């Protein structure tokens, strides 16, 4: 008996985690649809998974960024950072254009009636506030509040300071050797956190089952059917963005590698994003995939990925455009090309300002809708199926972060294309 159990357990463990999570995703969805409302009681088990992931975000970001500043000079960091930001903005603009194009063809929302709901408009934060926010007033509170941009800045400054001071002191002096030891400890810390990610993912199998059962227990299939065209529009746009822009254009053409290898290396992060609906929450897995599977150096991914989780949201941006066209169709308004261009610009800025947390788009939607005079009450209608749509766009968001990171790493000779997922 004991032998059978341990044999079963070994068999279970020999299946790669991502497939076990995928099975939990499907089974959880089925259970939620069958059981209905009572399945929402499982939510705390899902929340536990998300909390476990969130718990490791700050240490992973701090440790890996400090390691990166040991490898790179400030000027190299600046160059890489510049490239990352420019490509992020480019891919987001393309994503919105894709979203607008697809929705102009599919025309979601035509023939639907608006169900009233009151939503209060939100203001986009002023640009100066966003830029100033990059520098935290207090690093400890930035860490405590999970303010990723603030944590990135402080860790970079601290790491660069460590490297500079180490160079000033002679080898053998207490300060020089102390810094060396501190670097070693931080490197060990990063390794430990990556180990922990995989422990958390083992629990993720239960967590994802619970999250899916609870979501479908709550929404049921009816809500999805009603807004099927909206779901299809987002699905098509996400398919084009991932398939054409990331896999063909970036991975195959610019990085010169097989899209299948890229997907093999990124699949854990993609399925986690699909399950937990948060780019920031997925960050530990995204970083671990970049490090262990895509073989990208810390010098690039340690800040491009946390930065991407906060500012690079292609799925979110395209969704804001799609939702605007959907709403215009529901209320029978025709959006001119000029209005669609203004949606593009607003959605780009709004996506940069959107937090990588579940449902964040709904808040930003009011900014975009106000811009072109669409009724905010439509947001209430969309909110019903947002838990489903959020998965697709979050998966798109983090896949974009990884593709751009691989590209910038390639430009800077910071990726080993002969090992890891590229070579199996």
356 touches ligand ASP by CB under 6 A: yes
How far apart (Å, rounded) are the C-alpha atoms in residues 407 and 390?
Answer: 26
Q: How far is the CB of 276 from ligand ASP (least distance, A)?
A: 9
371 touches ligand ASP by CB under 6 A: no
Q: How far is the CB of 320 from ligand ASP (least distance, A)?
A: 8
Tell me the two tokens of residue 376.
């905010």
Among 29, 91, 354, 371, binds ligand ASP (CB under 6 A): 354
How far apart (Å, rounded) are the C-alpha atoms in residues 306 and 324?
Answer: 28
359 touches ligand ASP by CB under 6 A: yes
| x/- map, 301-330, ligand ASP, by CB under 6 A | ------------x--x--------------
Among 62, 261, 318, 357, binds ligand ASP (CB under 6 A): 357
367 touches ligand ASP by CB under 6 A: no
Segment interacting with ligand ASP, rule: CB under 6 A, options 53-61, 168-176, 352-360, 415-423: 352-360
148 touches ligand ASP by CB under 6 A: no
Q: How far is the CB of 271 from ligand ASP (least distance, A)?
A: 15
Torsions phi, psi for 296 (to 5 deg): -90, 145
* Site size for ligand ASP (CB under 6 A): 16
279 touches ligand ASP by CB under 6 A: yes
Among 297, 298, 390, 401, binds ligand ASP (CB under 6 A): 390
Q: How far is the CB of 279 from ligand ASP (least distance, A)?
A: 3
295 touches ligand ASP by CB under 6 A: no
214 touches ligand ASP by CB under 6 A: no
Between 70 and 393, whose beta carbon lies closer to ligand ASP?
A: 393
Segment interacting with ligand ASP, rule: CB under 6 A, options 24-32, 245-253, 277-285, 325-333: 277-285
Between 214 and 414, whose beta carbon lies closer to ligand ASP?
A: 214
Where do contacts with ligand ASP occur on this chain (CB under 6 A)?
A: 277-279, 313, 316, 354, 356-361, 390, 393-394, 397
């Amino acid at each position: 008996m004991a032998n059978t159990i341990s044999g079963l357990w070994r068999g279970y463990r020999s299946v790669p985690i991502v497939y076990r999570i995928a099975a939990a995703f499907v089974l959880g969805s089925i259970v939620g649809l069958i059981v209905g409302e009572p399945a929402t009681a499982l939510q705390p088990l899902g929340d536990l998974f998300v909390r476990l992931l969130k718990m490791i975000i700050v240490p992973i970001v701090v440790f890996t960024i400090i390691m990166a500043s040991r490898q790179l000079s400030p000027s190299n960091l600046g160059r890489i950072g510049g490239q990352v930001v420019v490509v992020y903005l480019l891919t987001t603009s393309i994503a919105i254009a894709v979203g607008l194009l697809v929705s102009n063809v599919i025309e979601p929302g035509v023939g639907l009636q608006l169900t009233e709901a009151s939503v209060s408009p939100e203001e986009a934060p002023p640009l100066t506030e966003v830029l100033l926010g990059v520098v935290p007033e207090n690093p400890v509170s930035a860490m405590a509040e999970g303010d990723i941009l603030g944590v990135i800045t402080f860790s970079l400054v601290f790491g660069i300071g460590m490297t500079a001071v180490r160079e000033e002191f002679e080898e053998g002096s207490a300060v020089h050797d102390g810094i060396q030891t501190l670097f070693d400890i931080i490197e060990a810390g990063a390794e430990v956190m990556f180990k922990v990610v995989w422990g958390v993912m083992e629990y993720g199998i239960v967590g994802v089952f619970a999250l899916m059962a609870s979501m479908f227990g709550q929404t049921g299939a009816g809500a999805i059917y009603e807004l099927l065209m909206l779901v299809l529009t987002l699905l098509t746009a996400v398919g084009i963005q991932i398939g054409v822009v990331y896999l063909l254009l970036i991975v195959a053409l610019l990085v010169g590698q097989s899209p299948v290898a890229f997907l093999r290396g990124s699949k854990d992060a993609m399925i986690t994003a699909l399950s937990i609906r948060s780019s920031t929450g997925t960050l530990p897995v995204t970083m671990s995939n970049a490090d262990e599977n895509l073989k990208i150096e810390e010098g690039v991914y340690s800040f491009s990925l946390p930065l991407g989780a906060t500012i690079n949201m292609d799925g979110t941006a395209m969704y804001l455009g799609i939702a605007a066209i959907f709403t215009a169709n529901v209320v029978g308004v025709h959006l001119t090309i000029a209005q669609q261009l203004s949606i593009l610009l607003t959605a780009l800025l709004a996506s940069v300002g959107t937090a990588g947390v579940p449902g964040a788009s709904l808040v930003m939607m009011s900014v975009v809708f106000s811009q072109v005079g669409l009724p905010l009450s439509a947001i209430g209608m969309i909110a019903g199926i947002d838990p489903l749509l959020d998965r697709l766009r979050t998966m798109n968001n983090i896949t974009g972060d990884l593709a751009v990171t691989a590209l910038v790493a390639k430009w800077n000779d910071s990726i080993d294309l002969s090992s890891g997922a590229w070579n199996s």
